């Protein structure tokens, strides 16, 4: 990913400033909104990546889309524009969310399932993940029908694969080895 190191530096700087101003939580919400909006909107992503569109136009678009953003968030946009780095805004937002969660002791757990998690099942996953890690957990559900059934739980670098596709793959390997 181009600009990954720069994105981390910008995110750390914004978090540092936000922590001093007690606005870290509000900025985190802004960053979540920015990350999801840019990720879901291909046209906006293309505008931010375009070398043809001027920074003034990009800034006006960002300000229009994120009207209710915190002052520190808008200062970040200004800084990225002045440094010709607005194209990494989505990466800065994602890194900020990650750093913020780490500072609060919250870990992200991704649960890949064949169908969407129900509220009850999500509670059970949260409880089990908290029991295993001892940290507060935020669950992200990824739907992948290719796993057929079961689930894949990933917390940090640890992955537990209880998918039917994985079990079938193990059986296939056993039969081909014998």
pLDDT tens digits, residue range 87-114? 999 999 999 999 998 888 888 889 999 9
pLDDT at 5: 92
CATH topology classification for 4-102: Peroxidase; domain 1 (1.10.520)
User: Phi and psi at residue 152, in whole multiples of 5°?
Assistant: -125, 120
* pLDDT: which is higher, 5 or 21: 5
- Residue 169 tokens, joined: 């793959």
Confidence of residue 21 (pLDDT cuts 50, 70, 90): low
Nearest to 162 by CA among 107, 108, 109, 111: 111
The Cα angle at residue 50 between residues 60 and 46, in degrees rounded to 5: 80
Is it true that 4-102 and 106-177 share their CATH fold? no
- Residue 53 tokens, joined: 């569109």
Instruction: Count Cβ atoms within 10 A of the Cβ of residue 174 and give its class: 0-12 exposed, 13-18 middle, 19 or more buried.
Output: exposed
pLDDT exceeds cutoff 70 at 178? no
Say if CB 109 and CB 140 are below 8 A apart: yes
User: What number does CATH give the domain 106-177?
Assistant: 3.40.30
What is the distance between the alpha carbons of residues 115 and 150, in angstroms, rounded to a whole number? Answer: 9
* pLDDT: which is higher, 22 or 7: 7
Domain ranges of the chain: 4-102, 106-177
- Residue 47 tokens, joined: 């505008």
């Amino acid at each position: 990913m181009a600009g990954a190191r720069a994105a981390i530096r910008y995110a750390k700087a914004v978090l540092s400033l936000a922590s001093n101003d007690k606005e870290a939580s509000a900025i985190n919400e802004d960053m979540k909104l920015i990350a999801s909006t840019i990720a879901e909107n291909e046209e906006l992503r293309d505008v931010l990546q375009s070398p043809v569109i001027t920074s003034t136009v990009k800034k006006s678009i960002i300000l229009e889309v994120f009207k209710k953003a915190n002052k520190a968030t808008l200062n970040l946009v200004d800084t990225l524009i002045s440094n010709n780095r607005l194209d990494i805004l989505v990466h800065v937002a994602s890194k900020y969310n990650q750093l913020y969660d780490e500072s609060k002791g919250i870990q992200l757990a991704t649960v890949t399932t064949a169908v969407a998690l129900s509220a009850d099942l999500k509670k059970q996953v949260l409880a089990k993940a908290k029991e295993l890690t001892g940290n507060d957990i935020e669950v992200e559900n990824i739907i992948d029908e290719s796993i057929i059934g079961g689930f894949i739980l990933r917390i940090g670098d640890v992955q537990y694969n209880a998918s039917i596709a994985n079990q079938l793959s193990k059986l296939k390997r056993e039969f081909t080895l014998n």
